[in-house]
Amino acid sequence: MIKTPTVLVLGAGASKPYGYPLGQELLEKIVALGGLATDVTTPAALANLFKCGFSHERIKDFAAALSQSGRQSVDAFLESRDDFLEVGRHAIANELLAFEKSQDIFKHNDWYQYLFNRMCDSDLFESFGRSNLAVVTFNYDRSLEFYLFSALRNSFQKTAGECAENFKAIPIIHVHGQLGPAPMGAGWPDYGAQITPDLISFSASQIRIIHEANDSTPEFRAAQGQLRSAERICFLGFGYHPVNMRRLLKDIAVVEGKEIYCCGFDLTSKEKQSVNKHFQATRLSKLRWGNSDNGCLKFLREEGVLLD
């Protein structure tokens, strides 16, 4: 059980071990899909967008502009291209839903497994919900929720309802929206459900691009509240986008006096110094960067982030 009040702040790199693409990889997938928008070749993913009401020409125009935008993610592109917002949201949902593979997620026992075992004592069902943990995620996918809920349900002889009540004690806040809610949400699509035009459109409607998700939304206010209550904050698989950092740390006091752990995978020393500026106004008890070669699991273990 995690005793120290802890908040994990997740970026795309946190879902990468479970098959989900990083921002640049998702962009390339969508650009490639647009290149197939002809009357001759119609792969299933492209056919889905047609069924959602987008024409060959519209998809091709979107993919062409995206490919030559110089941006590193679809989200960054859509920030300044409202004219492509709807087709862009549908394209993101269409691609990400394909990675919801419930039969595969436990083949990748990476940091989700480590987290679950830190949260949940092997002989005490209630220890999961009593863990002093909250998650703030900038990701649309719900793979973390699915993994943790499935692990909880299969580790104990408890009903789905009992597991759901235990699970709800752990706040998981998607500040930019999500493909769907936690897997046990009544009336919502199951994780790994068959992809249909209705499901794509529903999931697309839940996605908020950065300029739509301002720091006064309920999700951002809830995230700031969790940071304020924490003693330990860990940025994991995070890209440290300046806009995201400014919005999350709008009230710099939310991180004052905290232990701050920053996963630095693939970041240079100069890039880390640039991120440090977001914290310089605070009186931090600890600000620690992980090794640039360390992924999420190794970072958590080497820094002892979840060890009380």
CA angle 223, 7, 249 (to 5 degrees): 45
Answer yes or no: do 260 and 119 share one domain: yes
- Tell me the pLDDT tens digit for each residue of 135-192: 999 999 999 999 999 999 999 999 888 998 999 999 999 999 999 876 555 556 788 8
Question: What is the full DSSP assignment across 210-226?
Answer: GGGS-TTSHHHHHHHHH
Domain range for 247: 6-19+105-177+213-303
The last residue of one of the domains, among 65, 97, 129, is 97
What CATH number is given to the structural domain containing 13?
A: 3.40.50
The two three-digit tokens of residue 282, written as one number: 């605070």
Q: Which of 20-24, 88-92, 192-196 has the lowest mean pLDDT?
A: 192-196
b/e for 259-293, b at 16 or more Cβ within 10 A?
A: bbbbbbbebeeeeeeebeebbeebebeebebbeee
192 is a domain residue: no
The two three-digit tokens of residue 112, written as one number: 């989700």
268 is a domain residue: yes
Answer yes or no: do 11 and 34 share one domain: no
Count CB atoms within 10 A of the CB of residue 87: 23
- Tell me the pLDDT tens digit for each residue of 224-274: 999 999 999 999 999 998 888 888 887 777 788 889 999 999 899 999 988
CA–chain centroid gap for 67, Å, is: 24
What are the Cα distances from residue 115, in Å, to 22, 111, 135, 244? Answer: 21, 6, 12, 24
Q: Which of 9-18, 215-224, 250-259, 279-288 has the lowest mean pLDDT?
A: 279-288
Task: Give the pLDDT of residue 193.
Answer: 87
Answer yes or no: do 135 and 75 share one domain: no
The last residue of one of the domains, among 50, 65, 97, is 97
Residue 179 DSSP class: S
201 is a domain residue: no
- Tell me the pLDDT tens digit for each residue of 28-50: 999 988 876 554 556 788 899 99
What total number of domains does the chain contain?
Answer: 2
The last residue of one of the domains, among 79, 97, 115, is 97
Answer yes or no: do 244 and 159 share one domain: yes
Task: Give the pLDDT of residue 192.
Answer: 85
3-state helix, strand, coil in the chain (%, to 5): 50, 10, 45
Answer yes or no: do 31 and 168 share one domain: no
CA–chain centroid gap for 248, Å, is: 15
Answer yes or no: do 44 and 167 share one domain: no
The two three-digit tokens of residue 57, written as one number: 């020409």
Q: What is this structure's pTM? A: 0.92
Bridge partners of 136, per DSSP, are 9, 173
